[in-house]
Structure 1
Amino acid sequence: MLSKLITFTLAVALAFAQVNAESHTVIFTNKCDFGTPILRASDGEILSVGGDYTSDGALVGAIAMSMLTPLSVRLSKYPGPCGDNGEGCTVIETTLQNDYSSTDISLVPPHKFSVTGGFGYFDGCNGAGADCAYSTCPTALLYSNQTWLQVACTDLNVNLAITFCD
C-alpha cells in the first residue's frame, strides 16, 4: 500500500512539474536581403543565429539584432556590422518570464537605427508589440529613461516574434 501511495505521489508531482514548466520561444522573420538575425544572452552567449530559440525557463536580458554581412555593407546604404552587444544597430531587448515579460526596441547609444525592426507577443498578449521604421520612430527607446516604451506582458509562457526589414 505504501509503495502505491509513493508511486501515485511521484506521478502527481511529475505531472504538476510538467504542466508548470516555464518555456518561451523567440522566432525570427528576416525580410532583409542581407544579414542574419542573432539572439544573444545577457552574458554574451549566442543563443541563436537566424533560427528559432526556445528557453527552458526564463529568458532574461536577451538582445536581438540583424548582423550585416561584409558584402551587404559594401553594396548597400546600411552601416557596418553590429558590435557584440548590438552597437551601431537596431536592437530588440527582451526578458521573457512568467508573470512579467518586457520587450522594447532600443536606439539608445551606442545602438542606432540600422534596419526596420519590430516584435509582437504570441500565445499570450496577442497584438502587443512595436515596430520601428525610421531613426526617430516614436516606439523605440532613444534615451535610457524612456521606460514607458517597454511593452509588458503578464501571461505565462508567452512567446515572441521578431521581424527585421518589415
Structure 2
Amino acid sequence: MFSQIISLAAVVFVYTTLAHAESHTVKFVNKCGYGTPTLSQNFKTLSTGGDYTASGAFEAAIAWLNTDACGFQGSGCTLVELTLKNPTSAGAGSSADISLISPHTFSVAAAFSYFNGCDGQGKSCSSANCASTSAFHVTTDYGAQVQCEADNVGLTVTFC
C-alpha cells in the first residue's frame, strides 16, 4: 500500500512538472518574396523559415533574412536578437531587439512582436534611418529593446 502511494505521488509530480514545462516558439513571416528566414543560436542554425519551439529557456539567439548579401551569422543584414525565458525575478524575462550595429546593417525591413503574453508588443524598422527607439544603431540604444515578463511567451519575426 505504501509503495502504491509513493508511485502515485511520483506520477502526479511528473505530470505536474511536464504540464508546466517552459517552452517558447519563434515564428517567421517573410513578406519579401525572396530570402530565407534563419534562426541561429551558438552558431547552429535551428530554423530556415519554419516555426521553432524551444523546450526551456531560449537565450542569445539571432534571426535574419538570409539573402545573397548576408555573411556569416547574418553579418551585413538586419538582425533580430532574442532571448525568450520565463522570468525568475522582476526584469529577468524575455527580451528582443533589432540590431543594425556593425557588422550588421540594414538590408530589409524587420519587425518582431510577442504572442502568448505581451501580445503585440514589439518594434519595427523599415529603413536604415529608423529611430534609435526602433533599432540598435549603437550599443547604448536601449530604447530599441522590448522586454516581456510573461511565462512561455513566443515571438513572431516579420521581414518586409
TM-score (norm 2): 0.92
1:118 corresponds to: 111
1:145 to 140, 144, 148: 140
1:74 corresponds to: none
Deviation by residue 1:10-56 (Cα, 9 ceiling, x = unmatched): 11111221122110000001011210000000x10000011110001
1:75 corresponds to: none
How many matched pairs? Answer: 153
Question: 2 CA distance for matches of 1:24 and 1:125?
Answer: 13
Runs of 4+ in 1 over 4 A off after TM superposition: none
State yes or no: 1:155 paired with 2:154: no
SS at match of 2:101: coil
Q: Give the unaligned 5+ runs of structure 1.
A: 70-79
State yes or no: 1:109 paired with 2:102: yes
2:45 corresponds to: 46
Question: 1 CA distance for matches of 2:119 and 2:49?
Answer: 23
Question: 2 CA distance for matches of 1:115 and 1:122?
Answer: 23
2:121 corresponds to: 128
Q: CA deviation at 1:148?
A: 2.9
2:8 corresponds to: 8
RMSD: 0.9
TM-score (norm 1): 0.89
- Give percent identity, aligned residues only: 46
Q: Give the unaligned 5+ runs of structure 2.
A: 88-92
State yes or no: 1:58 paired with 2:57: yes
Q: CA deviation at 1:4?
A: 1.6
Deviation by residue 1:67-98 (Cα, 9 ceiling, x = unmatched): 114xxxxxxxxxx2x12221100000000000
SS at match of 1:155: coil
